[in-house]
Every structure is written in structure tokens, then in C-alpha cells.
Amino acid sequence: MQIVCFHLMPWPHLPADFEQKHDSAWLTLPNTLFDPERGRTLYTDYLDQLVAAERLGFDVIGVNEHHQNAYGLMPSPNIMAAALTKMTSRVKILVLGSALPLYDHPLRVAEEVAMLDVMSGGRMIAGMVVGLGVEAYSYEVNPTFMRERYREAHDLIVRAWTEPGPFHFEGKHYDFRFVNVWPRTYQQPHPPIWIPGSGSIETIRFVADRRYPFIALPYSQFDVMCEHFDLLREYAASHCGYDVPPSQIGWPAMIYVGETDTSAREEFEPHFWYLAKKGLRLPREYMFPPGHTSVESQLRPGHAKRKFISLISSWKEAEEGGYAIVGSAETVRQKLREGIKRAGCGIIQGIFQVGSMPHAMTLANMERFARHVMPAIREEFPQ
């Protein structure tokens, strides 16, 4: 089992009347709500949490990429990764980013990841994401071309890492006459590539064909996520002729370990709702611009079954849907065990800081997890 401490770096200071005044925490939320002084403290705390994760024995620390929102303050995850290469020494660093179609110059991604890989002595894991639908607005990228651009940028980057330069890459969306990335990646032939996905058929085929680890997105029902894993296993078996190993499947889970089930819920719940109702406040029309998700995927019966976290309204629903793993150490161990077996995953992408959760509470959560949960999970599910 690879255990990841993943961070979203949310803005936790949205006002109490935010929902009354704003219909979105993304794209159109005025950036005057961001306070740079508080932001400075946040970046410090959040980076310290990821550094603590190395000390606590996590295998991987991870950052992600989102644009123009209060949900996550990392429009450029590589900047965070750069800081982390110098603040840590052993742990692997996952960037989940990069949102390839947003960039007219994906060679920059190839260059930056190569730099990070050399700086970190080969500790990078390179994520490649399509980007959310709302980011088609943020970066003015035509959503009907995002999947094409994603694939083409992926091919360009992998070739830039693996083929001797210079060479000419001539595609539909990208045309570079001199592909010749300096520096080359530290890991050869290139850093591992992990792909997050919402379960679209296109992404599942893409990862199955290339045997990349597939990391689900964390905000719908556990069962829906497992169906996506099933789909991946079925597709790989029937079309690619192999059995997907657990190491190719990643379960992203918000995890909170308290002293008791009751105190855990009491401590965690306000921050969960901050995330669900504030950070992920995102109109459907922003989330699903035309073409971002294929018509085929949108018409699939499973698409309607998914209930996005922002639409749930009770803790009972959160618990039954498996939106978060919360409780005493014993409860969390038990829930994770069951979940890992059902999901068939070999990667747990834990999210320990959720919504408005303060620094000390986050660290205490991580420590309880590392001390009382992680060893049992490692023992039961060895790498």
C-alpha cells in the first residue's frame, strides 16, 4: 500500500454569509476576498503539514492544481513542489496537476517536472489531468478540444522526456520544431505518471491502455467510485489483456481520526460542510461546459447516479455514501480495511486537512492516523 498525504490548500476564511452572497467559490468569486497576510500564514502551515507527513512515515506527499477559486490555492502546484523538494529528503512528491490542456506550451510542464525530478533526486510523481470544466472558463480553453489537447500534450511530454532531442513534434494543437528539454529527468526513462479522473470512459481507456495508476476524484459516493474501478478492470481485461493490479488504483479519501467516534465527528463535521457547501460551491453550468465530458459519458446510466458532495445535506448521507472516513482509530482502520478490499486499491490518497480545518487539528489528525492506523493498514496490505 502506498499512502499519500494529499493537500488541497483551501482558503478557509470564506465569510459566514458567503452562500447568500455568491453562487460560486470558483471563477467569479471576487479575489478581493483573499487576504494576502492570512494567505502567507496558510501557505506556511500547509507546507509544514506536508513536511510533517514525511516525518510521520507517509510514502508520498501530494499537491494539486486549480485556478481562480477559494477551494485550493495552488494555481501552480510545481511552485509548491519546488519548495517541498528542499524541505523534505526522502518522501515522494506527487503533483496532481498538471492540467495539460490549459497550456499552450506543454513543454513548460515537461521542463518543470524534469527540473523538480533532478532537484529532488528522483522523487517526483508526475500527474497529468484534463482540468475541471470550470477551468475551461478560467483559462479560456475551448472545452470541446480539451481531451484532444490533453492527449496530444501527454504524448509530447512523454516523448520530450524519453526521446533524444532535438526533434520536431507536429500535432494538431501543438507544433514544436525543437523539442529538446534541458534538464533531462532524474528518473529514467521518466517519473511515474498518475492520472486522476472522474470516471469518464475516455480517461478509463486512456489509463488502461498505458497502465498508469488511476486516482479517482474524491467527491462522490464510494460505490460510484468503485464502479469506475470495476470499469477500469473490465476494460483492461477485455481490451488490453491484463489484470489491473492494486498498485494501479488509487482511492482518494478524506480521513479524520479522533479520540472517539463522537469527538471525531464533532471535530470534523464543520470543516466537512465548509468544503461541501462553500469550497465546492460550483454551479452545474460552470462544472459541465459543453464537450468537456463526452456525450457518451454523460449519457451513461451511472452518470445520473453520482451525487456530488455539494448536493448532500445530512451527516447520515455523508456517512452512508462514504464521502469521508471519520471516527476513532479503530473505526477508521475498520472502514479503510473494508474500503480497500472493495476498491481493490493499492494507493490511499488521504486528505487530512479538509475545508476550514485549523493547523493544529490537522497535525493531530495526521499524527493519530500515522500512529494508530497506518501501521495496521501497511501490515494487512503490504506493497
Partner 1 sequence: MVEQEVALEVRGKTVQLWQGGDGPPLLYLHGAGLYIWMPVHNWLAGRRRVFLPVHPGFGESGGFDEIEDIEDLVFHTVDVMDELGLEQADVVGLSLGGWLAAELALRHPQRVKRLVLVDAAGTRVAGVTRGNIFMATPAKARALLFHDPASRLATTLVPDAVPPERMETVLRGREAAARLLWHPHVAQRKLTSRLGRITAPTLVVWGSDDKLLPLAYGEAYANGIPGARLVVIEKSGHLPPFEHPERFADVVLSFLEA
* Contacting positions for partner 1 (CB under 8 A): 136-137, 140, 142-145, 283-286, 289-291, 295, 298-299
What CA–CA distance (Å, rounded) separates 257 from 263?
9
* Residues contacting 82, CB < 8 A, separation 6+: 115, 116, 119
Strand partners, 175: 170
Q: What is the CA radius of gyration of the chain?
A: 20
Nearer to partner 1, 235 or 288 (CB): 288
Report which residue type is found at 76.
S
The CB-of-136 to partner 1 minimum distance in angstroms stands at 8
The CB-of-74 to partner 1 minimum distance in angstroms stands at 24
* Residues contacting 140, CB < 8 A, separation 6+: none
The answer to whether 7 and 77 have CB atoms below 8 angstroms apart is no
Query: What does the DSSP 8-state code read for residue 378?
Result: H
The CB-of-83 to partner 1 minimum distance in angstroms stands at 34
Nearer to partner 1, 286 or 323 (CB): 286
**3-state SS class at 286:** helix
Report which residue type is found at 15.
P
Nearer to partner 1, 77 or 289 (CB): 289
The answer to whether 350 and 336 have CB atoms below 8 angstroms apart is no
* Residues contacting 298, CB < 8 A, separation 6+: 288
The CB-of-329 to partner 1 minimum distance in angstroms stands at 44
The CB-of-101 to partner 1 minimum distance in angstroms stands at 13
Nearer to partner 1, 86 or 284 (CB): 284
| CA dihedral of 297, 299, 300, 302, whole degrees rounded to 10 | 100
The answer to whether 216 and 229 have CB atoms below 8 angstroms apart is yes
What CA–CA distance (Å, rounded) separates 253 from 248?
16
Nearer to partner 1, 133 or 322 (CB): 133
Nearer to partner 1, 294 or 334 (CB): 294
Nearer to partner 1, 145 or 315 (CB): 145
The CB-of-127 to partner 1 minimum distance in angstroms stands at 25
Nearer to partner 1, 76 or 142 (CB): 142
The CB-of-142 to partner 1 minimum distance in angstroms stands at 4
Residue 10 has, within 13 A of its CA and on its CB side, a CA count of 26
The CB-of-304 to partner 1 minimum distance in angstroms stands at 10
Residue 334 has, within 13 A of its CA and on its CB side, a CA count of 7
